[in-house]
Every structure is written in structure tokens, then in C-alpha cells.
Amino acid sequence: MAVFTPLSDAQVAAFLDKFDVGSFVSLQGVAGGTENSTFFVTTDRRELVLTLFEQGEHEELPFFVELLDYLDEHRLPVPGTIHDRDGIALHSLEGKPALLFPRLPGRHPEAPNLAQCHALGDTLGRLHVVSKHFHGHRPNPRDLTWLQVMHHKVLSYLSPADQTLMKNEVDDFESAFIQYGELPQGALHGDLFRDNTLFEGDQLGGIIDFYNGCTGDLLFDLAIVVNDWASNDDGSLNAERYDALLNAYQARRPLTFDERALWPTMLRVTALRYWLSRLLVVYVDPPAHDLTPHDPERFRTILNARIAHGALPLPEVSA
């Protein structure tokens, strides 16, 4: 979250008049983030978040609105969009698409404990059970096809050893996935790192920032979570956090035979996905704003750890 397009109190007060959310009291820009302008807005009735969309494909915004509203209707802890008095959620402000959300409680966990891992695994399992029935569709923009196409763009910036590593991984992924049928599909968060969650103590208050949301392999979403939430500093998997997440998740949605077989590969796929996307930002497509990109090295380390040690055993599902 960040502010790239400043807004005045008067602009926001006039914008709020379209909604039944109370009268404007105060406006605070939110620092950090890389893509959109974000503000905390206080009215005499509630706390809100206002987002202006600076980048990306604006024609895809209705998908995100529909997904958030769908998950909110199913009582998932997500910020369902606030619709105006005419039932419209997506508006324009200062020439940018704008959405208004409720402000959810909590803070990002920097070092998640086992109770927080359990809470996230449980909620992600519930989300995936519900999301299988979501009718919207947006192809996963960071799937295996993307890896196959985009990894060529960064090879010239890598050492010979890393070039070989990246090319071999893409080849291995193709060989592994062709042996199995389609995995369980549904709507994904697509970027469920710790800083996209809000906790009050051990209670999950919200999952935010669905702008990598898409439809695709549910296992892809789970692997992203495990690589971020259950990795040690050296990239190895932390057995306690791993088990807490996966036990809770599988209590809601047990993995299929094919998913269990492909699990070690999917952990490597998602590690390469973030290593590559961060390399692209550093070398090929730097951010439009003066921001420090995420370090690609973190996911190169995780990838090498997954190659060296594989995945820890998946917890068995109780009958």
C-alpha cells in the first residue's frame, strides 16, 4: 500500500457522499507498497480503506470486485467492497479507478506463531472449498506457461549456474505436470504472504490485497503460503509451522492423490515464480515509482532448499 496520487479532504468528502457510510472526519495516506494509492478514511460511523488503482489492467477490476463480494457473502474474513446507494462499487476519483472497503482489524505477523499458522491454514482451506464454486474467471497470470515464456528474459543477467538452474527447473516442471490430469480448480488469492494478512493476537482478522487473484490450481495458492509462512531463513521448511498450516488446511480440504504427488514440484514452481518475478522487476520492468524492489535472492534460496531437501511429508488426513 502507498500513495502515488494525493487526494484532498474535500475530494474524499465529496466521494463519500455517494455512499451510506457516514460523514467524512479524516484522511490518512498509507505508506509502503508498490502498485496502488491507499488511504485510511475515518467517518463519524466507521473506518474505511480507499484504494486508487495506478497500474494493471483496469478491465480486470470487476473480477476482483465480484470475487471479494462472493467471499464476503460466504463469511470469509475479506474486505468485501462497499457499494454506493445505487449498488455500484467501482468508481473513478482523480482520473483513477477507485474502490472503498471496510478497514479490517489487526496487524501483519512478522514471525507467525503456530496458532496463527493454524488459523491461516483453516481459513485458506475454507476459502478454497467456497472458491471452487465461484463463477468468475481470470487465468492465472503467473502459471507454468508464464514461467516457460518469461524466464528467457532474465537469463542474460544470471550466472551460468543460475541460468542452468532456471532452465532445468522449467523443463522438470513440464515433465512432472504432463503425467497428471487437471488438479482441483478454483479462485485463488495468488499472493498470500504474511503482509497480506491481519491478525489480532492469534485471531485472523482479515486477508487483504486480492489484486493477484485469479482462477487456477488450488495447490498453487497453498504452495505460495507454505513457502512464505513455513520457511526458515536458510530456505528450509520449518516442520512445526508446516504441519500447523497443512493439518488445518486439510481438515477443510484434503489434498487429492495427484495433488499430493505434485506437492514437492508445486513448492518449487511457486519459489521459481517469485524468484523470476522479482528478477524481472530488478532487470527488465522496474516499477513506475521510485520504490525498492523485493530481493530476488530470498526465493532463489528457497528454491535451492526445495531442490536439495524436497518437501516435508504431508500430514495424513484423519478419517
DSSP sequence for 145-178: HHHHHHGGGTGGGS-HHHHHHHHHHHHHHHHHHT
Residue 291 pLDDT? 65
Residue environment code for 53-85, b if the CB has 16+ CB neighbours within 10 A, otherwise e: bbeeeeeebebbbbbbebbbeeebbbbbbbbbe
Q: Tell me what pLDDT residue 56 has.
A: 66
Q: What are the C-alpha distances in Å from 233 to residues 228, 230, 271?
A: 10, 10, 14
Q: What is the pTM of this model?
A: 0.94
Collect the ranges in the chain with pLDDT lower than 70. 1-2, 32-34, 56-57, 287-291, 319
